[in-house]
């Protein structure tokens, strides 16, 4: 049987990375797994798949998948890719080729690609030598009979013709010059292959792109909703072509003079479209070469040398591009010498939110956060600065990759790795003299850069939310959910005001002090299982706001004999705010506008404006949008007059009360544990609060009554309830209690929602997009602190998606 390369035209065969592969004769189709070149025109992978299908006499199917498990998946990347999917589906339809899209989300997580691939004669995909695609490709290859072949559809000089791992740009430029010249000006041959259209059964339900609201689809995916779509930045080949043509006709000629000026529109801003292959690099290179100007020559050097050296480097390293070892030896050696130098680390949260205190760097990060892009010249300074702000160079590298890939629309590309690792020496040479931390790496200082780029002017230019004006949003409720929604909106450039009826923010994560004791009388601890929450929690741990509670936690199923408990509760990681649970709320509220002591009692919507009044009927303010983050029953009551539908949904979520008793003892209780789930009698939980990190050592205990007793004694005499629960403490622990120095009681009317809305069904919040209204809270996302956080993000995301929808 002939090899696949033998069945292809020469201009396609040279782009095949596995030329010796042979098709599976039993396969019923050729499958093009489209992932890196979302276009029908000048697409070598598509053309190769079409030629192979025709040669084998089987139909062609184009499969595109969008997987939640792709690292850094967020609303922003999903929106751009889905918009691209819509364009390419139309283009393929016009050519008679069937395109199907599978978007993983709850209810749609079947192994669609593997099932289709296992019926194929050959699977064609683009060579994209970065994580996780290299690994995903290898896994698919191992799982099926048919070959999975990769086609270079991204570079002018085909990757397989670059013989060595490139080290420096000048060497690469020279070594590939001839190959480039031969291909740069030749028109891409139009494909005349007309394979049959695949009409067979699909093992999944494809997304109907023309009839689906893409933003609703995104909301249903379990991805990072804190990074919203960039309003006005549409993905797809239509927008990509328009961007290219505008630059080709107006900007290319002067590129050599304007490219380093971050305050001018002097660059192509094409990288996101190139990253997804929404414009053909073959086409733009050819048209730029035809323009024949100094600007075009400089731009082509960026496109053909700096972009392609990065691709070739990733290709030769077979996607192993995130490890510290990938840096050149001299760079690692100099960084090693300076490992012990004094640094001023910033937390990953300060970095992600652009709150480091360095005006230029923060403005650059704001550009990434709000606009999803960063001017290349500023990006170099931005990237270098992570070295002195991270405890080790390895951490700096991880942060570089994370920040770039999460926020930048062009992130996750081989060219990104080239640029990011350049900050740590890749493709560069040693510089003299040695400087602290950087050693012989080329330094780039934000202060020096700020002398030629005024941070305030730059910030005013790039830190824009993309809407005609920032949204003015009222967030009612300053618990974890409300604060999280507010800071997500604020980080995206909107004005969020938080109103809370309490004395300070926090809601049910609260701490009460009664010298010398301290009590967390609401949430006791929390867990962080979801990666989207975990990321922030780790940053709070870096900042010391959150610590592990390593106390021994047990279950008491029957009264103990002498304080010795036998039943361990699992070794779940239990986390607490430090020095009290409310430290988390204080931290979340740090740079927000929080108005405490305001009970919102009335809502009115007139036209596009929400008006809020307080309990005295006084006006609180007028807003474009509203986030209501109250416990379900309170939300239902407040919303009933203005939105019966959402109020009704909230009213259907029951919440249970908890009576908490706070006890300060004069001596330590002789118990061999620090917290217990109590499954006998009216108590549900007891905990030695003083065993949590950062608390005063004075013996402080919290007792929680179960919901039945809490309900029964809701209006009963407080002192009698305290006495009753103290007696229960003695009974279930089996020890004599020391003298009590402090006693108090707190009633939580809406403590826990055992039957929270299914977060998978509701996307973590309830909302009416047209009304600019979102409801969130622990009850929308599985209960608990983690659920409240994710729900707050989901509510903010609903508003951010609506802004993008209307842009």
Name the site residues for ligand FAD (rule: CB under 6 A). 476-482, 499-502, 507-509, 522-526, 599-600, 629-631, 634, 638, 658, 660, 704, 748, 751-752, 777-778, 783-785, 788
| Concatenated DSSP letters of 424-437 | TTTT----SS-BTT
- Residue 264: count of CB within 10 angstroms of its CB: 14
Q: Which is nearer to ligand FAD, 308 or 786 (CB)?
A: 786
> Edge-to-edge strands of the sheet including 567-568?
567-568, 553-556, 675-678, 683-688, 700-705, 656-665, 740-752
- Contacts of residue 401, defined as CB under 8 A and 6 or more positions apart, other chains included, come to 322, 417, 420
Rounded least distance, CB 753 to ligand FAD, Å: 8
Rounded least distance, CB 536 to ligand FAD, Å: 14
Q: Which is nearer to ligand FAD, 674 or 778 (CB)?
A: 778
Q: Which is nearer to ligand FAD, 321 or 537 (CB)?
A: 537
Rounded least distance, CB 280 to ligand FAD, Å: 48
Please give the Cα distance from 367 to 76 (Å, whole number).
Answer: 14
Rounded least distance, CB 803 to ligand FAD, Å: 23
Burial class (CB in 10 A: 0-12, 13-18, 19+), 555: middle
User: Three-class SS string for 733-758?
Assistant: HCCCCCCEEEEEEEEEEEEECCCCCC
Rounded least distance, CB 225 to ligand FAD, Å: 16
Q: Phi/psi class of residue 194: alpha, beta or left (left: φ > 0; alpha: ψ in -120 to 50)?
A: beta
Q: Which is nearer to ligand FAD, 217 or 785 (CB)?
A: 785
Dihedral angle of Cα 485, 487, 488, 492, to the nearest 10 degrees: 140
Rounded least distance, CB 507 to ligand FAD, Å: 2
Selection from 771, 578, 569 nearest residue 676 by Cα: 569
**b/e burial code for range 759-771 (CB count within 10 A of at least 16 → b):** beebbbbbbebeb
Q: Which is nearer to ligand FAD, 306 or 525 (CB)?
A: 525
Angle of the 582-589 helix axis to the 480-491 helix axis, nearest 10: 20
Rounded least distance, CB 526 to ligand FAD, Å: 4
Q: Which is nearer to ligand FAD, 682 or 783 (CB)?
A: 783
Rounded least distance, CB 691 to ligand FAD, Å: 15
Cβ atoms of residues 229 and 215 within 8 Å: yes
For 396, 481, 705, the CA distances from 321, given in Å and listed in that order, are 15, 37, 54
Q: Which is nearer to ligand FAD, 37 or 634 (CB)?
A: 634
Q: Which is nearer to ligand FAD, 389 or 750 (CB)?
A: 750
Rounded least distance, CB 761 to ligand FAD, Å: 18
Please give the Cα distance from 630 to 613 (Å, whole number).
Answer: 16
Please give the Cα distance from 116 to 109 (Å, whole number).
Answer: 14
Q: Which is nearer to ligand FAD, 279 or 556 (CB)?
A: 556
Rounded least distance, CB 697 to ligand FAD, Å: 22
Rounded least distance, CB 638 to ligand FAD, Å: 6
Distance between start and end Cα atoms, the chain: 54
Q: Which is nearer to ligand FAD, 54 or 500 (CB)?
A: 500
- Contacts of residue 539, defined as CB under 8 A and 6 or more positions apart, other chains included, come to 347, 348, 349, 352
Q: Which is nearer to ligand FAD, 212 or 611 (CB)?
A: 611
Bridging pattern class, strands 619-623 and 683-688: unpaired
Cβ atoms of residues 267 and 257 within 8 Å: no
Bridging pattern class, strands 700-705 and 625-628: unpaired
């Amino acid at each position: 049987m002939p090899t696949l390369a033998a069945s292809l035209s020469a201009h396609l065969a040279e782009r095949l990375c596995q030329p010796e592969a042979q098709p599976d004769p039993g396969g019923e189709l050729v499958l093009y797994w489209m992932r890196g070149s979302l276009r029908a025109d000048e697409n070598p992978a598509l053309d190769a798949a079409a030629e192979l299908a025709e040669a084998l006499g089987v139909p062609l199917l184009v499969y595109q998948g969008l997987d939640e498990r792709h690292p850094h998946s967020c609303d922003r990347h999903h929106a751009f890719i889905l918009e691209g999917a819509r364009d390419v589906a139309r283009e393929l339809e016009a050519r008679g080729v069937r395109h199907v899209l599978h978007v993983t989300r709850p209810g749609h997580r079947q192994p669609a690609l593997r099932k289709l691939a296992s019926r194929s004669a050959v699977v064609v995909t683009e060579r994209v030598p970065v994580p996780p695609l290299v690994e995903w490709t290898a896994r698919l290859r191992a799982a099926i009979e048919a070959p999975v072949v990769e086609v270079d559809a991204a570079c002018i000089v085909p990757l397989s013709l670059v013989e060595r791992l490139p080290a420096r740009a000048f060497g690469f430029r020279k070594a590939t010059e001839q190959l480039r010249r031969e291909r740069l000006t030749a028109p891409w041959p139009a494909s005349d292959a007309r394979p049959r259209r695949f009409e067979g059964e699909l093992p999944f339900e494809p997304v109907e792109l023309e009839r689906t609201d893409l933003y609703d689809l995104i909301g249903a995916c379990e991805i990072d909703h804190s990074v919203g779509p960039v309003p006005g930045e549409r993905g797809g080949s239509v927008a990509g072509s328009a961007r290219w043509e505008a630059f080709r006709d107006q900007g290319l000629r002067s590129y050599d003079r304007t490219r380093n000026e971050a305050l001018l529109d002097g660059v192509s801003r094409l990288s996101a479209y190139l990253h997804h292959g929404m414009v053909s690099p073959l086409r733009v290179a050819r048209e730029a070469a035809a323009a024949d100007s100094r600007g075009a020559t400089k731009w082509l050097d960026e496109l053909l040398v700096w972009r392609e050296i990065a691709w070739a480097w990733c290709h030769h390293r077979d996607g192993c591009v995130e490890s510290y070892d990938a840096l050149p030896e001299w760079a690692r050696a100099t960084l090693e010498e300076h490992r012990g130098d004094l640094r001023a680390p910033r937390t990953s949260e300060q970095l992600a939110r652009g709150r480091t205190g360095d005006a230029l760097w923060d403005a650059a990060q704001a550009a990434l956060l709000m606009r999803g892009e960063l001017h290349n010249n500023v990006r170099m300074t931005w990237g270098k600065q992570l070295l002195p702000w991270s405890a080790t160079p390895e951490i700096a590298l991880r942060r570089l990759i994370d920040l770039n890939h999460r926020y930048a629309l062009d992130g996750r590309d081989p060219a990104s790795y080239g640029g990011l690792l350049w900050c740590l020496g890749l493709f560069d040479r040693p510089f003299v003299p040695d400087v602290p931390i950087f050693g012989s790496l080329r330094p780039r200082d934000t202060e020096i850069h700020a002398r030629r780029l005024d941070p305030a002017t730059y910030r005013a230019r790039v830190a824009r939310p993309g809407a005609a004006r920032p949204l003015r949003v009222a967030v009612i409720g300053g618990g974890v959910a409300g604060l999280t929604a507010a800071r997500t909106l604020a980080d995206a450039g909107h004005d969020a005001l938080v109103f809370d009826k309490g004395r300070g923010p926090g809601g049910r994560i609260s701490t009460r002090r009664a010298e010398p004791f301290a009590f967390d009388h609401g949430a006791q601890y929390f867990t962080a299982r979801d990666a989207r929450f975990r990321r922030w929690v780790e940053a709070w741990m870096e900042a010391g706001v959150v610590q592990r509670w390593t106390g021994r936690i047990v279950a008491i199923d029957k009264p103990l004999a002498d304080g010795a408990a036998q039943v361990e509760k699992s070794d779940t990681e239990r986390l607490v705010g430090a020095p009290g649970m409310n430290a988390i709320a204080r931290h979340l509220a740090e740079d927000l506008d929080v108005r405490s002591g305001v009970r919102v009692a009335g809502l009115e919507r007139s036209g596009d404006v929400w008006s809020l009044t307080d309990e005295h009927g006084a006006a609180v303010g007028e807003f474009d949008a509203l986030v209501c983050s109250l416990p379900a029953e309170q939300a239902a009551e407040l919303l009933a007059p203005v939105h019966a539908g959402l109020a009704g949904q909230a009213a259907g979520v029951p919440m249970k009360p908890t009576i908490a008793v706070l006890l300060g003892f004069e001596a330590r209780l002789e118990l061999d544990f620090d917290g217990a789930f109590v499954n006998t009698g009216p108590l549900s939980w007891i905990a030695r609060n003083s065993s949590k990190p950062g608390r005063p050592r004075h013996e402080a205990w919290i007792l929680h009554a179960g919901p039945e007793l809490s309900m029964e004694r809701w209006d009963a005499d407080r002192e009698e309830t305290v006495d009753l629960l103290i007696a229960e403490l003695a009974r279930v622990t089996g020890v004599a209690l020391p003298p009590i120095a402090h006693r108090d009681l707190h009633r939580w009317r809406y403590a826990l929602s055992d039957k929270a809305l299914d977060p998978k069904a509701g996307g973590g919040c309830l909302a009416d997009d047209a009304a600019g209204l979102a409801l969130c809270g622990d009850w929308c996302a599985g209960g608990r602190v983690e659920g409240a956080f994710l729900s707050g993000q989901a509510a903010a995301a609903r508003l951010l998606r609506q802004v993008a929808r209307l842009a």
